[in-house]
Amino acid sequence: MPESAVQVGIVGMGTVGAGVARVLVESADRMASRAGRPVVLKRAVVRDLERDRGVTLPAGILTDDVAAIINDPEIELAIHLVGGLEPARQIMVDLLKSGKDVVTANKALLCEHGPELFGLARELGRTIAFEAAVAGGIPIIATMATCLTANQILSITAILNGTSNFILSQMDREGWSYADALKKAQELGFAEADPTFDVDGTDAAQKLVLLTQLGFGMRVPLETFPRSGINRLELADLRCADMFDCVVKLLATAKLAGGKLELHVQPTLVPKTSPLASIHGSFNAIRVVGDVVGETWYSGQGAGQSPTASAVLADLIDSVIGRTRLTFYRLAPWQDTARLPLQSEDDAEARFYLRLHVEDRPNVLAEICDALGRNSISIASVIQEEAAEPEETGGTSDSTRSEETPVVPLVIMTHKTTVGRIRAAEARFAELGSVRPGHCRMPVADL
Ligand SMILES: NC(=O)c1ccc[n+]([C@@H]2O[C@H](COP(=O)([O-])OP(=O)(O)OC[C@H]3O[C@@H](n4cnc5c(N)ncnc54)[C@H](OP(=O)(O)O)[C@@H]3O)[C@@H](O)[C@H]2O)c1
C-alpha cells in the first residue's frame, strides 16, 4: 500500500455501489491523478455475499459486516450507498462518529434526517457530500453550492424523477397506457420494485427539499408543501395537452412569489416551446433562475448506475482534495439562513387545464361557465368531444333517458387564476348533477 494512499470503504454494493467500485478498481490511475493520491477500495459491505455484483473485486474486500469499515481507523472515507431510512441513518451516524467523511446518494435520508446528520458532521468536524442524491449525473448540487452563490435564487423548476418522465414519454410518444409504461420502466430497471415514491411525487419532493435548502437557505419539511404524482393521469390528458401545444411533465417547483416561497411537485402542462418539453425518457432537467445570472439550464441522466457513480466519485475526489470541506462549512446545510413564509397553496397562480366528465345535454356548458365565472375565472378555450349518437331503441321513457344521458369529456383552459379560485369552482361542480366525480386539474408552467 503506497504511504499516501487514501483508503475508502463502500457500504452498499447494489446498482450504484457496484458502478463506483468498478471505476475505483478499473480506473485506479485516473482516480489517483484526479485525487492527487492513490484511492484504494479497502472494504465493500453487502448483506448477501453470494449475489453477483457484476464487478470483479480483489479477494478480501467484500464483507457482510459494516463494522469492518466503521472500526477500521485506516479507512478515512466512507461511501454510503444504502437506501431508505433505517438502518441507513444509524450506519451514517456510526461512520461519522468513527471519524470518517461520508459520501452518499441517499436523498430520502438527507430529506428526513438532514438537520441531525449535517449537525452531527459539523460537531465532529466531518463532512457529508451528496451530489448523487439529486438528479444523478447532473452536477446540480455543486452548481448551487458554488457557482450560483452570488445570486438570490428566484426559481427552481425541475424534472427530477426519471421513472415518471420515462412513463410520461412512453404514454405521450408511443400511446402506451400508464400500466404498460410502468411495467416497462421496471423491466428496464428505472423504477424500483416498489415504485410508489417514484410515481406519487415523493422522490421528486425529497430532491426538491435538498435543492430548496441550497437555493433558498431554508429547510422545508416534506409534509409542509403539496405534492402529487403521475399515478392518476390518463392517456386522454396527454392527448388533450397536445391540443394546447403542451406536454405533461412531473415538475418540482420552488420559487419566490411576492416575498413568499411557493413549493410543489405536480403533473404540469409544459408548452412545447420550453426546453423542459424536450426532456424525454429517464433524463432529468433543472432550470434555475438567479437575480444576477438570469436563466440557467441543466440536463442529463438523472439516475442509473454510471451517471450516479460519476457523481459519487466526483464527491469522493472532492473529499480527498478538501474541496467538500470548504463548501460544506461555508454552505451551512445544517441550519436555516433565511426563513421565508411558505405561500399558501390556494394563492399559487397559473393558467389551469381542467378535464371534466359532463353530461351531454343542453345547458351543461352554461352551468360550468357560471361556476367558473362566479369565481372570477376567465376561460381561454374549451374543447368538447362529440358524444356518439344514441342508437334507436324505440319508446324510451323520460326517466330511463335521464339515466342514459351520455357523459363526454369537457376540457377547459383558463386564463391565469389561483388554485383557491379553481377549488371554489370545483366545489360548485361537485354540487352540479351534470358533472361526474373524478376530474383532472393541472397548472400550466409558462416557461
Ligand atoms: N439507482 C440509482 O440510479 C440511484 C440514483 C441516485 C440515487 N440513488 C440512491 O443511492 C442509494 C443506493 O441505491 P441503489 O440503487 O444502489 O440501491 P440498491 O441496488 O438497492 O443497493 C443497496 C445496497 O445496500 C446494501 N444494503 C442494504 N442494507 C444494508 C445493510 N443493512 N448493511 C449493509 N449493506 C446493506 C444491499 O446489499 P445486498 O445487495 O446484499 O442486498 C445493496 O448492495 C439509494 O439511497 C438510492 O436512493 C440511486
- pLDDT tens string 102-145: 999 999 999 999 999 999 999 999 999 999 999 999 999 999 99
Residue 235, pLDDT score: 92
Fold agreement between 6-133 and 348-444: no
Given a cut of 60, whether residue 397 has pLDDT beyond it is no
- pLDDT tens string 253-291: 999 999 999 999 999 999 999 999 999 999 999 999 999
- Separation between Cα atoms, residue 350 and residue 268, nearest integer Å: 10
Given a cut of 90, whether residue 331 has pLDDT beyond it is no
CB distance 47 to ligand 1 below 6 Å = yes
Q: What is the mean pLDDT of the chain?
A: 93
Give domain 140-302's CATH number out of 3.30.360.10, 3.30.420.40, 3.20.19.10, 3.40.718.10: 3.30.360.10
Fold type of domain 6-133: Rossmann fold (3.40.50)
- Separation between Cα atoms, residue 219 and residue 92, nearest integer Å: 20
Q: In what order do the strands lie in the sheet with 6-11?
A: 62-63, 39-45, 6-11, 75-80, 101-104, 128-129
Contact between 407 and 386 under an 8 Å Cβ cutoff? The reply is: no
- pLDDT tens string 217-235: 999 999 999 999 999 899 9
Tell me which of 13, 43, 47, 85 to substitute to probe ligand 1's pocket, judged by most ligand atoms within 8 Å of the beta carbon. 47
Residue 339, pLDDT score: 84
**pTM tops 0.75, yes or no:** yes
Contact between 422 and 343 under an 8 Å Cβ cutoff? The reply is: no
- Separation between Cα atoms, residue 115 and residue 142, nearest integer Å: 19
Given a cut of 90, whether residue 395 has pLDDT beyond it is no
Q: Which residues are catalytic?
A: 207
Residue 133, pLDDT score: 97
**Cell numbers that stand for 246 in this block:** 403542451
Rounded alpha-carbon distances, angstroms, from residue 279 to 196, 284, 369: 22, 7, 35
Given a cut of 60, whether residue 390 has pLDDT beyond it is no
Domain ranges of the chain: 6-133, 140-302, 348-444
Q: Is the dihedral of CA 229, 235, 240, 245 positive or negative?
A: positive
Residue 168, pLDDT score: 97
Average pLDDT over residues 61-67: 98
Q: Residue 5 is which amino acid?
A: A
CB distance 306 to ligand 1 below 6 Å = no
Tell me which of 10, 11, 15 to substitute to probe ligand 1's pocket, judged by most ligand atoms within 8 Å of the beta carbon. 15
- Per DSSP bridges, beta strands 349-359 and 417-418 are antiparallel
- Separation between Cα atoms, residue 312 and residue 103, nearest integer Å: 7
Residue 333, pLDDT score: 65
Q: What is the CATH number of domain 348-444?
A: 3.30.70.260
- Separation between Cα atoms, residue 416 and residue 379, nearest integer Å: 9
Split at pLDDT 50, 70, 90, the class of 185 is: confident
- Separation between Cα atoms, residue 420 and residue 350, nearest integer Å: 11
Helices (H) and strands (E) in the chain, counts: 16, 16
Given a cut of 60, whether residue 393 has pLDDT beyond it is no
Contact between 412 and 358 under an 8 Å Cβ cutoff? The reply is: no
Residue 387, pLDDT score: 65
Phi, psi (rounded to 5 degrees) for 323: -70, -35
CB distance 304 to ligand 1 below 6 Å = yes
Residue 54, pLDDT score: 93
